[in-house]
């Protein structure tokens, strides 16, 4: 009589499995990076912030990749400006002005060929992009949004 072989035991106890679609991962991070991710996650939390950032890194379209390179270059310029001239007790206007100039240069270097839309279309689209950029900042985006809104209304001839 032949013996029947038992199937090997699973490496993970199926009763302990949390989800069929998720995996638990252990990751070592520098404390400063952990603190920054936790802070950026806000009410959503640390793990949600990591998932959001990882997912975003895989969802770039070919067109967005060009913007991704531009964004990475701008990020490097911001880090360099902070290192070369760190703020002393508040805003460092010299570093900000140098960074602003560097961003203009980078925008020129990455500018695609072709003609931009009309000034009206451009301003409306830019305003929408600014709103989309500031919204994820939550409370930190309220002040810059309010300043831009007041400037936009003044430029349009309205009272803020």
* 106 domain residue, yes or no: yes
* 11 domain residue, yes or no: no
- CA–CA gap between residue 89 and residue 94 (Å, rounded): 13
User: Could you report the per-residue pLDDT of 23-65, keeping only the tens digit for each?
Assistant: 888 889 899 989 888 888 888 888 888 888 888 777 655 556 6
* 125 domain residue, yes or no: yes
133 near 125, Cβ under 8 Å? Answer: no
Mean pLDDT of 75-79: 87
* 148 domain residue, yes or no: yes
Q: Are residues 80 and 103 in the same domain?
A: yes
* 72 domain residue, yes or no: yes
Does residue 117 sit in helix, strand or coil?
A: coil
Q: Are residues 55 and 75 in the same domain?
A: no
Q: Are residues 41 and 53 in the same domain?
A: yes
Of the listed ranges 7-16, 19-28, 123-132, the least confidently predicted one is 7-16
Q: Which of 59, 80, 104 is the last residue of a domain?
A: 59
Q: Are residues 87 and 129 in the same domain?
A: no
- Enter the tokens of residue 14: 């199926």
Q: How much is the pLDDT for 150? A: 84
Whether the per-residue pLDDT at 143 is higher than 90: the answer is: no
* 99 domain residue, yes or no: yes
102 near 143, Cβ under 8 Å? Answer: no
Q: Which of 59, 74, 103 is the last residue of a domain?
A: 59
Is the pTM value of this prediction over 0.75?
A: no
Of the listed ranges 8-22, 98-112, 139-153, the least confidently predicted one is 8-22
Helices (H), the chain: 31-41, 46-58, 62-84, 93-110, 119-134, 139-155
- Mean residue pLDDT across the chain: 80
Question: Residue 160 — pLDDT band, cuts 50, 70, 90?
Answer: very low
Mean pLDDT of 88-100: 75
Domain around 84: 62-114
Q: How much is the pLDDT for 109? A: 93
Q: Are residues 68 and 108 in the same domain?
A: yes
Does residue 137 sit in helix, strand or coil?
A: helix
Count of the separate structural domains present in the chain: 3
* 2 domain residue, yes or no: no
Q: Who wins on pLDDT, 64 or 82? A: 82
């Amino acid at each position: 009589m032949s013996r029947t072989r038992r199937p090997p035991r699973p490496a993970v106890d199926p009763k302990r499995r949390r989800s069929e679609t998720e995996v638990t991962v252990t990751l070592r991070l520098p404390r400063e990076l952990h603190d920054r991710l936790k802070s950026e996650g806000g009410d959503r939390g640390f793990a949600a912030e990591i998932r959001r950032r990882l997912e975003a890194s895989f969802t770039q379209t070919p067109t967005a990749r060009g913007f991704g390179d531009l964004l990475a270059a701008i990020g490097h310029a911001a880090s360099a400006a902070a290192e070369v001239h760190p703020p002393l007790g508040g805003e460092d206007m010299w570093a900000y002005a140098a960074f602003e100039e560097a961003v203009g240069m980078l925008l020129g270097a990455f500018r695609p060929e072709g003609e931009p839309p009309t000034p009206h279309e451009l301003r409306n689209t830019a305003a929408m992009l600014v709103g989309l950029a500031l919204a994820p900042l939550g409370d930190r985006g309220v002040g810059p949004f309010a300043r831009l809104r007041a400037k936009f209304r003044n430029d349009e001839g309205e009272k803020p």
